[in-house]
Amino acid sequence: MESHDIAGFVRPGFEAVQKAFIENFESRNELGAACAIYHRGEKVVDLWGGIRDKSTGAPWEESTMVLVWSATKGMAGLAMALAHSQGLYDYNERVSKYWPEFAQQGKEKITVRQLLSHQAGLFALDQHVDASVVTDLDQLALVLARQKPTWEPGTRQAYHAITLGFYESELLRRVDPKHRSLGRFFQEEIASPLGLDFYLRLPEEIPNHRLAPLHSHTMASAIFTMPLALALAGMNPRSRMRRSLWCSEFALDKERIFARNLEIPAGGGVGTARAMAKAYSVFATGGQELELRQETLRQLTAPAMPPLHGFHDECLKTDVQFSLGFMKPDSNNAFANSSAFGAPGAGGSFAFADPDEQVGYAYVTNQMGTYLMDPRAEALRLAMYNSIDQIAPQYPPELENQTHA
């Protein structure tokens, strides 16, 4: 089927998702995008369309991949969960048990759970690093180990926008018998076995014509679409939010569109919606393909555990619930049933697993928006839940105008 330069398919009963996808182009300023949904292990939606490259007018194609910013955290979180399932570490153990050098600067009591849930106070690096340090994992490990928490770990939450992935990767290198980085572990243990076009470390052989360059709005527009405190923090180069984003710029490349052979596991993932939805679907349906232990799934679906002072995030300036590398639904952001886990990305990309409904959902775009939860992804999500005859989790009335404009 094709309409408004849209290609792909939807299974009978999911036509509402196709309609919402088309409406994104007609009334929500979509440029190029893809949406994929698995339900009960079956692919029921696989749509793509629009413009891949605005400068040339090249179309978005079936194999087009795009940088998804922090939606990468979800793919990294799945890899960390698989490592947990393989018995490589315990969520409740201290990080320093596996990585002794981490115990510097008051970090000796930080647990893996606290670290993965943005409760370690390590949301930014005091030492500025360049791309050469990021690619030298031994050197990066020294920088990470020397970092001092901003406050007592476990007391407050602050979004580890980029550092989360660096710390995850070094922890994994310490516990993996093969000492693999997070990008390599994800590729070998999840992406390759499942046949996924998603990379935490984009290889050289991926040609530019498969990649969709990103197009951004001005930050000033965020004043009208984001919570005011967050929008203002985003404009202040000294704010915690802006500091937490240091190193994210290394994911972009003027000549190659996106950087090759560079891992930013919390914000540099490149891939398709189809790949993300399938990965989440495997976890949402029990994980048999990856021999996932049920205890790991139980941990992922359990409620988030707050730090001492609650879920108010010192970077995002609002209440958000994080657990084990993922965002969890809550009353302020009821994106799915309470068992769900996923990750949104700056600009609009969003993907998650909903084990209650056995759903793997993903939406990716190259037209970056400035919403905390993008209305394009919201329209598709709501259409999906309506299609499976469920009442879609709704935002509180006070957020309706913001999120459904």
* Residues 187-246: tens digit of each pLDDT: 999 999 999 999 999 999 999 999 999 998 655 554 444 555 555 556 556 767 788 888
Of all residues in the chain, the percent with pLDDT exceeding 70 is: 89
Band (404; pLDDT cuts 50, 70, 90): very low
Band (357; pLDDT cuts 50, 70, 90): very high
Give me the mean pLDDT over the 42-50 stretch.
Answer: 98
Band (2; pLDDT cuts 50, 70, 90): very low
Q: Domains of the chain by range and CATH? A: 6-78+187-403 (3.40.710.10)
Give me the mean pLDDT over the 375-401 stretch.
Answer: 71
Band (1; pLDDT cuts 50, 70, 90): very low
pLDDT at 129 over 80: yes
> CA 360, 294, 94, 183 torsion: positive or negative?
negative
User: What is the rounded CA–CA span in Å between residue 244 and residue 246?
Assistant: 6
Nearest to 67 by CA among 189, 166, 206, 188: 206
Nearest to 118 by CA among 252, 313, 248, 251: 313
Find the DSSP H helices in 265-311. Answer: 273-284, 294-301
Nearest to 385 by CA among 334, 321, 326: 334
pLDDT at 297 over 50: yes
Nearest to 112 by CA among 75, 137, 83: 83
Which range (88-92, 233-237, 251-255, 260-264) has the least confidence? 233-237
pLDDT at 147 over 80: yes
Give me the mean pLDDT over the 147-167 stretch.
Answer: 96
Q: What is the pLDDT of residue 397?
A: 40
b/e per residue 356-378 (b: at least 16 CB within 10 A): ebbbbbbbbbbbbbbbbbbbbbb
Give me the mean pLDDT over the 158-170 stretch.
Answer: 96
* 31 neighbors 51 (Cβ within 8 angstroms): yes
Torsion of CA 63, 377, 74, 291, to 10 degrees: -70
The H or E element containing residue 180 is none
Band (400; pLDDT cuts 50, 70, 90): very low
Average pLDDT, the chain: 90
pLDDT at 56 over 50: yes
Q: What is the pLDDT of residue 371?
A: 63
Give me the mean pLDDT over the 255-273 stretch.
Answer: 97
Q: Which of 126 and 231 is assigned the larger pLDDT?
A: 126
Give me the mean pLDDT over the 377-395 stretch.
Answer: 79
pLDDT at 391 over 50: no
pLDDT at 271 over 80: yes
Q: What is the pLDDT of residue 217?
A: 65
Q: What is the pLDDT of residue 243?
A: 80
Q: What are phi and psi of 289, to 5 degrees?
A: -60, -25
* 315 neighbors 123 (Cβ within 8 angstroms): yes
Give me the mean pLDDT over the 349-358 stretch.
Answer: 96
pLDDT at 403 over 90: no
* 210 neighbors 256 (Cβ within 8 angstroms): no
Which range (4-13, 211-220, 298-307) has the least confidence? 211-220
Q: What is the pLDDT of residue 311?
A: 96
